[in-house]
Amino acid sequence: MKVIPTGKILGARVEDLDLATDLGPSQVDDLMILLATHGVLEFPRQTLSTRQLKRFSEKFGELYLSPGGRAQAAGFPEVMILSNMLEEGKAVGLSDAGQAWHTDMAYSNIIALTNVLYGTTIPQRDGRPLGNTELRNMHKVYEDLPADIKQRLKGKTISHDFNKFWELMRERPGSPRAPLSAEERAQRPPAVHAAALTHPITGRTVLYANPGYAVAINELPADESDQLLDYLFEFQSRPEYLYTYSWNKDSVLMWDNIGTTHNAVADYTRDEHRYIQRCQVMATRFYGEAGTRVPRMFARQQA
Ligand SMILES: [Fe+2]
């Protein structure tokens, strides 16, 4: 395989690797290190069945199963469909997934390691792809924070609430989402994670505070917590941390969910079709037991 870094704040393209083949453990470990180092990996020109996408993804950790059973690929509940397409008048997938800045699964006790997306229908207008995926480099954000802010974040934890993002999506005109019921909220209670998190693969610190889910810095009074979170959200929105991925049809895109935040750009219409299959890989190799906040570090990288 050939690795070509984008030369930007995130991203590398991995050429000459067929993800349909059954990769061995050392190949998977190589990819794990590349993923954490570059934050985003694109594997162009892939031809994968849903089964092969799942087999590749689950080599990195356990796959997430949405409790609502939403938008699953037929026969593969671990594969979610992100699409605005209709079949016999019915939506084939989730059409508004991820359309605001967030980190997937931050609201879960065991956080997510990586997202694996396979885009086979990509909307185009005037010869340019639509529906970009934007990401931010949270290793770099933490590194650049002023020393006094780093000091204030020391030992602090942040609560992440699924309902915050749900409500952000609901505020949009024409949103099909109903408010979460008490039962649905109980299925996903807020989770608590370190604000300055040690990345289990790079061993470096990331700011684990995303505008989509982070609701409170638990050790601070509410007004101070709100102020500091606003500051952190503003800081990470500086253009120097932004990387924009423009989709190529048949590419597999993977991003590091611990070291980045992301946003799905909603610039295409109902008639501009998009079809992406997605597996959410949980960080089960690194946060083994429920409630464990201290990651097991990636042995090969640390050695
Ligand atoms: Fe997402």
Each residue of 19-61: pLDDT tens digit? Answer: 999 999 999 999 999 999 999 999 999 999 999 999 999 999 9
User: Could you tell me the distance, in angstroms and rounded to a whole number, from the CA of residue 212 to the centre of ligand 1?
Assistant: 10
Condensed to tens digits (0 to 9), the pLDDT of residues 117-175 reads 999 999 999 999 999 999 999 999 999 999 999 999 999 999 999 999 999 888 888 88
How many Cα neighbours within 13 Å face the side chain of 108? 20
Q: What mean pLDDT comes out for the span 62-71? A: 83
What pLDDT is stored for residue 95 in this prediction? 83
What pLDDT is stored for residue 145 in this prediction? 98
CA of 12: how far to CAs of 2, 36, 37, 262, in Å? 10, 11, 9, 16
Task: Please state the φ and ψ torsions of residue 132, each to the nearest 5 degrees.
Answer: -60, 155
Q: What mean pLDDT comes out for the span 90-112? A: 90
What pLDDT is stored for residue 289 in this prediction? 60
Average pLDDT taken over every residue of the chain: 93
User: Could you tell me the distance, in angstroms and rounded to a whole number, from the CA of residue 303 to the centre of ligand 1?
Assistant: 32
Q: Would you say domain 2-302 falls under CATH 3.60.130.10?
A: yes
Give the rounded distance of the alpha carbon of 140 from its chain centre.
Answer: 17
Condensed to tens digits (0 to 9), the pLDDT of residues 179-210 reads 999 998 988 899 999 999 999 999 999 999 99
What pLDDT is stored for residue 52 in this prediction? 98
DSSP 102: B
User: Could you tell me the distance, in angstroms and rounded to a whole number, from the CA of residue 292 to the centre of ligand 1?
Assistant: 23
What pLDDT is stored for residue 153 in this prediction? 97
Residues 6+ apart with CB under 8 A from 241: 9, 136, 137, 138, 140, 141
Q: Where are the domains of the chain?
A: 2-302
SS3 37: helix
Q: What mean pLDDT comes out for the span 249-262? A: 98
What pLDDT is stored for residue 294 in this prediction? 63
Instruction: Kindly tell me if the per-residue pLDDT of 71 is higher than 70.
Output: yes
User: Could you tell me the distance, in angstroms and rounded to a whole number, from the CA of residue 90 to the centre of ligand 1?
Assistant: 23
Q: Which of 117, 114, 120, 98 is nearest to 265 (CA)?
A: 98
Token pair belonging to 261? 């935040």
Split at pLDDT 50, 70, 90, the class of 89 is confident
Neighbours of ion ligand 1 (CB under 5 A): 98, 104
Instruction: Kindly tell me if the per-residue pLDDT of 256 is higher than 60.
Output: yes
Integer Cα distance of 275 and 13 in angstroms: 21
CA of 3: how far to CAs of 55, 100, 107, in Å? 22, 30, 33
DSSP 181: P
What pLDDT is stored for residue 300 in this prediction? 72
Q: Which residues pair with 137 in a beta bridge?
A: 260
Rounded percentage of the chain residues whose pLDDT exceeds 70: 96
User: Could you tell me the distance, in angstroms and rounded to a whole number, from the CA of residue 299 to the centre of ligand 1?
Assistant: 28
User: Could you tell me the distance, in angstroms and rounded to a whole number, from the CA of residue 191 to the centre of ligand 1?
Assistant: 17
Look-up: residue for tokens 């109903």? 178
One-letter amino acid identity for 15?
Answer: E
Q: Do the Cβ atoms of 135 and 6 come closer than 8 Å?
A: no
Q: Do the Cβ atoms of 168 and 151 come closer than 8 Å?
A: no
